[in-house]
Copies of this chain bind each other. A is one copy, B any other.
Amino acid sequence: MSIEEQTIKEYAVSYLLTAAECGPEQRMTPSLMVNRLIDVATLHANYLGIGYARLQADGLAWVLSRVSLEMKRWPSVGEEYALRTWVEGCNRLFSQRNMEITSVESGEVLGYARTIWMAIDIKRRVAGEIPSLDTLAQVVVEDRPCPIAPTPRLREPKGDDMHDTAYTFRYTDLDFNRHVNTVRYLELLIDQWPLAWYDSHSLVRLDMAFLHEALYPQSVTVTTATDADNPMRFTQQITGPDGPCMRAAFTWRPDEYHPVCD
């Protein structure tokens, strides 16, 4: 990783996609991209002095509430890509942060992301008020709209082809906060499609809304259904003992996989 550019209002980091990081289609995986979105948001917040360390002093932690990601093309093996982030808005409870993803050599825009962050009270496990709101307000970029639609209202999956699978959270699904990691939820959603689907489709858009934390060793149900209006859009829900943990939508396009090397 290398720091491309740092200003108060915009923070950019570039990364090289190694073979070890690729999925079986020899390109970037959605879970690595969501990891990178979190990384660049964290680095910018740290740079502004409102990162995890600052929030921890008040017994708070940043948590991701919503993510939407739209990709024209996924980075391929050996490609250098950059993530550029800026804050679109904030209030006492939410901070909206956008990202632009580009290919470093050509400058080609590969995609965009929208994220919404909350502060949670670490002990009470409830939403807290974002501290240093004046710092955040100063860095809001008003004249740079993000070209992708905001996260839509995600509804419970319903329909004739709805199917459920069961999963029990394991030790390696847990993170620093001793709850299930954002990226492990995403992998659980990704695994609802077989390898053959990935070899013949590209993920165009991903929406996720986090509703309730899941803990070890809870068992959950993953429900997937095709959207009634769009056979390439699927809605998903992970439901635990206390109700829905998260909802998501995956939108695909047909895209034949051609191995880079075989």
Contacts and interface: CB of A to CB of B under 8 A. Distances in A.
Nearest to A26: B176
Is the contact region of chain A dominated by helix, strand, or loop, or is it mixed? loop
Interface stretch (A17-25, A155-163, A224-232): A17-25
B217 A191 contact: no
A29 interface: yes
Given A171-B193, A172-B31, A38 B56 contact: no
A252 to B, nearest CB: 14
A217 to B, nearest CB: 7
Contacts of A216: 24, 195
Contact of A172 (B20, B26, B77, B187): B187
Q: Which of A18, A22, A171, A262 has the most CB of B within 10 A?
A: A171
A175 B22 contact: yes
A236 to B, nearest CB: 15
Contact of A175 (B20, B52, B123, B190): B20
Contacts of A193: 171
A178 interface: yes
Interface string A13-50: 00000111011101001010001001100100000000
29 contacts: A18-B42, A19-B52, A20-B35, A20-B38, A20-B39, A20-B42, A20-B176, A22-B175, A23-B171, A23-B175, A24-B174, A24-B176, A24-B178, A29-B172, A31-B172, A56-B261, A77-B176, A122-B261, A122-B262, A123-B262, A171-B190, A171-B191, A171-B193, A171-B194, A171-B195, A171-B198, A172-B190, A174-B195, A195-B216
